[in-house]
Structure 1
Amino acid sequence: MSAVSTTAGRTHGISPEHGPEPGSGDARRAVAEAVTLGALLRCCVREVAWPRGQVWPAEPYLLLRVAGTLLRARVHGGIALRFDGPAEWLSGGAWRPLTSEMLVTLVERELAGGNDEFAGQVARSRAAIAALLRARERAAAPGDPWLASEQALVAGHPFHPSPKAREGSDWLRYAPEAHAEFPLRLLGVRADLVAERGDAAALGLFGGAPSGYVPLPAHPWQLDLLAAELRDPLADGRLVDLGETSRPVAPTSSVRTVYDAETGMCLKFSLDVRITNCVRKNAWYELIGAVELTGRLGPVFARLAAGFPGTRWLPEPGYRSADLGVRLLEGLGVILRPGPWTVCGPGVTPVLAGALASPGGPGPYGSADPLAWWRCYVERVAPPVLDAYFTHGVVLEPHLQNVLVGIDDRDLPVEAIFRDMEGTKLVRDRHDLSGLPPAVATALTYDAERGWNRVVYCLMVNHLAEVAASVAEHAGQVILPELWSAARDVLAAYAEERGAPPPLAELLAGAPLPAKANLGVRWARDADRTAGYVPIANPLA
């Protein structure tokens, strides 16, 4: 099946702009530098130069000015801003190679206020990419094509200033991009101290506990991070350490979620580590909210699947933790989620959308006709997301790491699998949440405008624009307008069926798209949930 070999072979996720496959220390550093420079330069175009009117097309280049310095780069891919060759800066009438360190300096000069962490975050991200490339040369990719796609995102978010910045010294041991595998640790929680909601019985498949205790799998990295807080509960018997589980698990793209091939299940752990923008912790209200949303979304996804064949989802039916104060309740909380193989149809292979969008490697469409493949792709992904919002008041978060695409034996996308309840929200005033704790209800809701912005950003900017750029990268850039014309047809057909909801009519008419301001939120050192948007051109216009 060519779709399987295509995905499994996409090992590095490095685009032609980033140079040859790494094979030496110098080559790895060069690739890491190109990835880092490219991501920061995209942020500068979108969040710094464009809002200030400091971007100009000058075929075959895009020109921009940052802190008074003129920069240029060859681009393709439309709003995805894929670069061809090195970026340059103008000095003394001559164009010279631009480096990521120089661009960091320009950003620091341009943006108001100080941030003494920013340069270090960019540098750590660059070093992490080089370390991941070296680790991948020594490790074997998993035979499971879905898991291989989860572990392919070496370059990270293309519009984030430090896409692979990770705290701590042990991160490489647990990195999905390094094809890590490791056993979990198993704790026993005294039965009267178990915090649980929904159906978490499957956690018992990872090992048993002594009489009077309930088993709780734990991420070994998180246990190291919580060592001080765990000392007393382990000493007095409220918790018991039952050692390592009998088999290894594999991390998926989010780092803290792992897959167990024997049970076909995923476990989403807390990690008190900042990865890109966020400390990856299951807050107490998110633990409750995941199970609450699963109950509410079951009927919604049943109706979506009936109206849009191929729509699938991965519920989160239960969580378990230890009632030992908020710190340990959150830090030890684990959420259950089925793996994608449990919901895909016969002969269908799940693939992470982010791997299909990653530059480099073979075309994402395999042996299929690229335009036909793209139309199928948009038909699978976009209408159920729009209908969830307009018909059901549900804000899905269909970014590239939250959507899996089911590929059939003709290499065509036939299913879209949506996951991760943390980013899913309910439109306020369309759902009765009066029975929930206020903090849970607040975390589960968006107002209609914020919800629509999130849908449009994740679907159009983060997702479809990147996949379209990858299709065009392999099929020839001349096809990009045809791709967006086909996408417009799919969205317009849905709009006609639903009476042209005003927000969607405005989108089809060419209203600017909201693009998340990752550079801005990182520069301000704000929580990721406070990130704003900057308007960018709408390729549907």
Structure 2
Amino acid sequence: MTSLALDSPAAVAVAEEASVSALLRCCVREIAGPRGQVRHEAPYVLLRLAGTRLRARAHGGLALRFTGRPEWLENGSWQPLSADLLVRLVEAELGEDEGNDEFAAQVAASRDALATLIAARREVAPPADPWLASEQALVLGHPFHPSPKARGGEGWLRYAPEAHASFPLRLLGVRDDVLAGAGDAGALDELGQAPPGYSLLPAHPWQLELLAADLAAPLADGRLIDLGDGSRMAVPTSSVRTVYEPLIDRCLKFSLDVRITNCVRKNSWYELAGAVELSRRLEPVFLGLASAFPGTRWLPEPGYRSAELGTRLLEGLGVIVRMSPWSVCRPGVTPLLSGALAAGRQGAGAVPGDVPGPADPPAVGPVPGPVPGGAPAVAAWPVADPVRWWRAYVERVAPPVLDAYLGHGVVLEPHLQNVLIGVDAEGLPVEAVFRDLEGTKLVAGRHDLSGLPGRVAEALTYDAASGWNRVVYCLVVNHLTEIAASLAGTGSTRRLWAVAREVLAEYAASRGWPRPLSDLLSGASLPAKANLSVRWARSADRSAGYVTVANPLAGP
């Protein structure tokens, strides 16, 4: 932990509480629940882990929000539960089959990183752009991940979106005989001036540090040249490795050879090619979705650029060009990250127990200052009419996702970091913007992929069952449950789910009640991604399985 965090006891305390809550949610969902060791006695959820009784005041339904500190029973007395004790209980419970000597360190590192981020963000003002402010608001990270702020590498803080970072990109010149790319990446040429015989390639400065040894030879022999820093400050978005470059109004998705939560975040060669291929194939799909569901938007990834210097540098220097949300939202509409809305009523810049500071806006969105297109700065919280707001939200997000799968054989990945909600001047949802083609897949057998390289085609497809599981998990379990919990506060989400059921039933009727939707609305159990299990097994994120959870859409 840096001295910045150590100098802030409040940040350390918030990080500890958040770490306990995240790991405890995982334990309820993935360990105690499937083993029949969870029961609900309002206002508590009670569970048993490694023979120890635990409890927490809970609300928010499936989102499992906690009020106050979770506790454990010691000699007949309830005591505050620490992250270290909870880790030991997890190790005792899961270690019977196979141990994991990395797990405790990962949880501790995530907690320390969170404390550092909380302390650091008090010192720097957020972006004036309400969309970018929302991108940098995911302070606590994934609520159902055992180490949501685990971050590899050194010097990460100066590139952290949660700390309101901004920095100039590094510009490289790639000699034209080793230039790699596909699609339309011409916007990159507007970032600066490359000498004759070279093309511009922006690079993430952190990635250049990580690749320094591999870059020495091509920089020495002229295949690459260092053109210095870009002229504008790029702003990292919620994924850390994707930044917004204001000079060209584009988002740029870089490789970072570090582990962030579950994965090393690099653009594999087949993902570079796949992004361009998917953008081409999805254009008519989204034209159809926008016609059927007005307000549906997406962010194409029309091209990528890299250097043909072996696989490591091809992937390591690869950058995917993505359109910005301001370029697709209509005038007067402000895009906000769904994950920031789900983070709670405290809004951008605040975390539970954190004292609001002058550097933070009072809520997600209402940040003073000019924004692209003259869009108004709007407040997303509080909501005057939660039911009306929620109905509009579900109508914007859910039907196009379901129709993409059922009508087009396209698996969108609408988790909270992949969806932006466009709100009007009243803060009412009027558009949904879907992004990040890495998780978007085509249903096998419904698309002709015969002309693609085998590895690209493989990476672009899911079988029908896997695709449906991914859609339902991301849309309902990861996304709508968290938005509903934040909207309801400590109150009941029951009325909100009744409204969501009405919206989905209306859509199902328009499609003739296909079997997947009939099962969903009849109360079939839902798949929830097992983040704790995949971390414990030290497996790749793509190997993550699911556990079943209760379905809040079940009818009376």
TM-score (norm 1): 0.94
Select the residue among 294, 304, 308 that pairs with 1:323. 308
Q: What is the one-letter code of the residue matched to 2:58? A: V
Aligned 1:68-467 pairs, distance under 5 A? 68-111=51-94, 112-361=97-346, 364-467=380-483
Instruction: State the Cα deviation string for residues 367-417 of structure 1 (Å, max 9, x = none).
Output: 441100000000000000000000000000000000000000121000000
Instruction: State the Cα deviation string for residues 28-47 of structure 1 (Å, max 9, x = none).
Output: 11100011000000000000
Q: What is the one-letter code of the residue matched to 1:388? A: A
Number of equivalenced pairs: 517
SS in 2 for 1:203: helix
Contact 1:312 1:416 in 2 (8 A): yes
Distance across 1 between alignment mates of 2:514 and 2:178: 49
Contact 2:46 2:54 in 1 (8 A): yes
Corresponding residue for residue 477 of structure 1: 491
Corresponding residue for residue 376 of structure 2: none
SS in 2 for 1:74: strand
Moved more, 42-51 or 207-216: 207-216
SS in 1 for 2:517: helix
SS in 1 for 2:512: coil
Moved more, 23-32 or 413-422: 23-32
Contact 2:191 2:247 in 1 (8 A): no
Q: What is the one-letter code of the residue matched to 1:74? A: R
Distance across 2 between alignment mates of 1:517 and 1:359: 23
Corresponding residue for residue 486 of structure 1: 499
Distance across 1 between alignment mates of 2:253 and 2:91: 36
- Pairwise CA RMSD: 1.2
Following TM superposition, where does structure 1 have runs of at least 4 consecutive aligned residues deviating by more than 4 angstroms? 362-365
Give the superposition deviation at 1:365.
4.6
Distance across 2 between alignment mates of 1:277 and 1:150: 20
Give the superposition deviation at 1:23.
12
Distance across 2 between alignment mates of 1:208 and 1:387: 44
Going from structure 1 to structure 2, the CA distance change for 1:290 and 1:214 (only over 3 Å counts) comes to same
Tell me if 1:530 matches 2:546.
no
Tell me if 1:521 matches 2:543.
no
| Percent sequence identity over aligned pairs | 69
Contact 1:189 1:239 in 2 (8 A): yes
Distance across 2 between alignment mates of 1:505 and 1:530: 28
Q: What is the one-letter code of the residue matched to 1:233? A: P
Corresponding residue for residue 367 of structure 2: none
Contact 1:368 1:411 in 2 (8 A): no
Q: What is the one-letter code of the residue matched to 1:444? A: L
Give the superposition deviation at 1:359.
2.5
SS in 2 for 1:477: coil
Unaligned segments of structure 1, at least 5 residues = 1-21
Distance across 2 between alignment mates of 1:409 and 1:531: 40
Distance across 1 between alignment mates of 2:232 and 2:290: 35
Contact 2:23 2:146 in 1 (8 A): yes
Corresponding residue for residue 495 of structure 1: 508
Distance across 1 between alignment mates of 2:193 and 2:301: 22
Distance across 1 between alignment mates of 2:28 and 2:427: 35
Unaligned segments of structure 2, at least 5 residues = 348-362, 364-379
Q: What is the one-letter code of the residue matched to 2:86? A: L
SS in 2 for 1:511: coil
SS in 1 for 2:141: coil
Distance across 2 between alignment mates of 1:89 and 1:472: 28
Corresponding residue for residue 19 of structure 1: none
TM-score (norm 2): 0.92
Going from structure 1 to structure 2, the CA distance change for 1:49 and 1:28 (only over 3 Å counts) comes to same
Instruction: State the Cα deviation string for residues 408-465 of structure 1 (Å, max 9, x = none).
Output: 0121000000000000000000000000000000000000000000000000000000
